[in-house]
Amino acid sequence: MAVDYKAPIKDIVFGYEVIDSYNILNKISLFKDFSENIVITTMEECAKFAEGVLAPINSIGDQIGAVINDGVVTMPAGYKEAYNKFKEAGWASISLPQEIGGGGMPIALSGGTLEILSSANLAFGLSAGAISAINFHGSDEQKSKFLPKLVSGEWTGTMNLSEPQAGSDLGTIKTKAELAENGSYKITGTKVWITFGDHDMTENIIHLVLAKLPGSPEGTKGISMFIVPKILINDDGTLGDKNNVQCLSIEEKLGIHASPTCVMEYDGAIGYLVGEENRGLHYMFTMMNEARIWVGGQGLASASAAVQGAAQYARDRVQGRPVGMSKEDAKNASIIEHADVRRMLLTIKSYVDAMRYLMFDNQLMLDLEYFGEDEVTKSLGEERCAILTPITKAWLSDLGVELSSLAIQVYGGMGYVEETGIAQYLRDARIAPIYEGTNGIQALDLMFRKLPLDNGQAMQRLLGEVTNQIELMKNGSDLMVSLAKELEIHVSKLSEVTMWLATKMLDGQLVDASAAATPYLKMFGQVLGGYYMGKAAVLAEKKLKDGDNEFYSDKLTICKFYIQQLLPIASGYASAITAGKEDLFNIKAENF
């Protein structure tokens, strides 16, 4: 009775047009031939793999999970075979640069494949962040030694940041690195929360480990990054001896049971310094920013899959007499005829569209930052990506949990029963607001690092684009004018509280600003959702003029529902933002 997942290809293809990806990317020589045909073909092939290979083992992974015996981690039945097919099809490297063996497609294209693959099986996801970190910061020797098999998927990579006493505060890590006679380093320490830290799907795993050298500066300024292979590599490229690294245990978790979350021990393991000493945290952020967008995509994937299950169930479940329906007609009426059920489904669908457009746009900006051919383009990508990333990570992952829970509500009691499979989406989604930097940290990042960028001008430039979209809509149909006026109300309120926060920070009232960080991020996400839905509404209306099309008519309804019924939530956060710290700190800690 599990969810029969079908990739929403038309919705994804529409999303790339909403963010104007083709016109923007075609200005970069690497992507001059990027087109809708490429997107359609890619998503169709990805859908075949996800629906035929990953979705069928999703519940198996949930029920059995990864297991560890004598330090060896074994994946659930079917996962190793699925990974081999994943690797052979090239899904691991589709958006990696051609010069390192990747598919050479834009990073933005991986947004659609991420949604499809993660919707089918969230626990299956492995991040490619280690590849980017080595590619951007490693030596030529390190690139030639490690990248080919990481890119091909023959090996996988991990990020090793946290320790038992050092979660978000990496300045307190204790893992140490000592220089060896041959120029390598001996790495000693314990790392926790390491996703796919060990498994049996590949013959080697390349760990990127943060550690401190003797005499390094205190705090985060003294952190270096090291490549530590599970199996050492001989000079001729063949595998050598096992390194002194092992998985001590895997965590028993609420969800993503098939994804081994490992406690890793390094006991004088051989490692290789990446880049310069004490620059490790800077290098790691190459991985972290990509991973944070990726985690936001997991929130999108959870909600996208959950609404499919809820809609399937609502169409099939006959229960109750819908208001306004005769007793005779109600005999065969399914619960999708109830207004409240439709409200729940439309709420999820509307948010999913807004979430998708935001994530695609964030990745599009990453393409501009990495591959732009002039400083103006690269600067725009870097600036916009900096602002959007914490919102993508936090707003999307929070919604992933909220909307998966709402999907369970559509099922009623059957949603709470494991045999329907819908509960797994909620359990799996719950990790996303936590890892890769908790959403509270994302809110602080937006507040204290991104809001002040270029003396606040970066934020104003983004809000200026939103205002331009409003003006465009005001020149359209009566519906567009109506939607524009609604959007304008909440953009104005966001601008107002943004100025209030900027004043607080200039006055040194930082605790007041920190108290406002989370509601501010939520408000910003809700308003950006309205901005993207405005763009989608204009596009859908334009498409409808070419002929009567149910798909675009539905899109217009979804945009209208979001802007008129969900966007107003944004201004509701304003009072929480401007309330300050007083109430939060009036109660003694022991009285909570």
Q: Are strands 176-179 and 185-195 parallel, antiparallel or unpaired?
A: antiparallel
> Residue 201: helix, strand or coil by DSSP?
coil
- CA-nearest of 580, 574, 419, 403 to 505 is 580
CB 50 within 8 Å of CB 18 = no
The C-alpha R_g of the chain, in whole angstroms, comes to 24
Paired tokens of 274: 């990446």
Question: What are the residue ranges of helices labelled H in 250-317?
Answer: 280-316
Cα 482 vs. chain centroid, distance in angstroms?
A: 32
CB 461 within 8 Å of CB 383 = yes
Write the DSSP string, 140-195: HHHHHHHHHHHHHTSEEEEEE--BTTBSS-GGG---EEEE-TTS-EEEEEEEEEEE
CA distance 110 to 55: 19
Angle at 214 between CA 208 and CA 215, to 5 degrees: 125
HSE-up of residue 413 (Cα within 13 Å, Cβ side): 1
436 has catalytic annotation:
yes
CA distance 34 to 112: 14
> Residue 496: helix, strand or coil by DSSP?
helix
Paired tokens of 226: 């090291």
Paired tokens of 185: 């380093």
CA distance 504 to 512: 7
DSSP 322: -
CB 230 within 8 Å of CB 245 = yes
Angle at 261 between CA 176 and CA 393, to 5 degrees: 95
pLDDT of residue 564: 98
For residue 426, what are the CA distances in angstroms to 379, 412, 432?
A: 38, 14, 11
CB 378 within 8 Å of CB 368 = yes
pLDDT of residue 1: 53
Helices then strands, each counted (H, E), the chain: 21, 11
Paired tokens of 11: 């919705």
Catalytic, out of 115, 383, 436, 541? 436
Residue 23 CB contacts under 8 Å (≥ 6 apart), including other chains? none
CB 453 within 8 Å of CB 383 = yes
Backbone angles phi, psi at 201, to 5 degrees: -90, -20
CB 226 within 8 Å of CB 272 = yes
Q: In tens digits, what is the pLDDT along the chain, a chain of 592 residues?
A: 577 999 999 999 999 999 999 999 999 999 999 999 999 999 999 999 999 999 999 999 999 999 999 999 999 999 999 999 999 998 988 998 899 999 999 999 999 999 999 999 999 987 777 898 999 999 999 999 999 999 999 999 999 999 998 877 788 899 999 999 999 999 999 999 999 999 999 999 999 999 999 999 998 899 999 999 999 999 999 999 999 999 999 999 999 999 999 999 999 999 999 999 999 988 888 778 888 999 999 999 999 999 999 999 999 988 878 887 788 777 788 889 999 999 999 999 999 999 999 999 999 999 999 999 999 999 999 999 999 999 999 999 999 999 999 999 999 999 999 999 999 999 999 999 999 999 999 999 999 999 999 999 999 999 999 999 999 999 999 999 999 999 999 999 999 999 999 999 999 999 999 999 999 999 999 999 999 999 999 999 999 987 769 999 999 999 999 999 999 999 999 999 999 999 999 999 999 9
> Residue 529: helix, strand or coil by DSSP?
helix
Read off the amino acid at residue 250: I
Which residues is 241 bridged to in the sheet? none
Global pTM value: 0.95
CB 259 within 8 Å of CB 123 = yes
CA distance 147 to 139: 11
pLDDT of residue 50: 97
CA distance 401 to 302: 8
Cα 560 vs. chain centroid, distance in angstroms?
A: 26
